[in-house]
Structure 1
Amino acid sequence: MEEMTTYTRRENARRAGVAAGVPAERIKITVHKDKGEVRFGWKEKEPDSADTGWLQRRPGATATIPATAPETRTTRQRSESSTPKRPKAGGKCAAVWDHLDVNPTATVKELREVATAQRWNVNNAVCEFYAWRKFTASKA
């Protein structure tokens, strides 16, 4: 009889079965007790007549079972508007937006200089520049 590889935890045995190419739902965990020690192995479950879809998903399987319609995956609903919102008044982000409202032709290079002079975080000011530009483009 062939020696079976055993594992100290059930999760490790299941992981080994999946690594061997068997779908997780087709793995049966076996328990081996020897001299007070418990170890776990895995083997593939026998196919039921009602459960034949797994043969089609198994890599390298050659089954003569007719293919069924592919499984559809539901997509997550996204918000209707992906435009950024104007920041609350009084903060540094709002100060960047106010500056850009007064100087709508400002470039990133110019904004970096203003941010340094105003002691704003330069990287945040640049991010706010692109958010402001997207916001104003959506209003046009």
Structure 2
Amino acid sequence: MTDQTYTSKKAAQAAARKEHGKDYAKRYEVQEVELGTNEWIIIEKEPVVTTGKPKKEAVPQPERIEQNGVKRPGPGKCLEVWEWLDENGNCMPKNLRPVAAEKGWNENNAQIELYQWRKFNGIAGRQAKAAK
């Protein structure tokens, strides 16, 4: 910046603030010329080079099918329940409970997924009772 020296650090800071505004500390710093000399100068800081984090590439999301106002779930436990229902067809919630316990699914969530699967496939109302 300049070769001018100041008698105190406070005076150097005041001069830098006057010349460069309140944000002088972002680009300039006040340093003592030599240790113990009590002479201060204002110098420009070295620019900080940051590499930053590399941006992650967007992972394409799988296309989710929508029918009757319900979207098929994405990967996870809910999709496992839907796949089981696709293979085994419509069932009663009480018949789904033991399967959920066996497969490690949350029983309440499996039941909710059953109702969403029914709505997705257009199955309305209660299941017909089996003939005796």
Same fold (TM over 0.5): no
TM-score by length of 1: 0.38
TM-score by length of 2: 0.40
Higher radius of gyration, 1 or 2: 2
Larger RCO of the pair (alpha carbons < 8 Å, separation 6+): 2
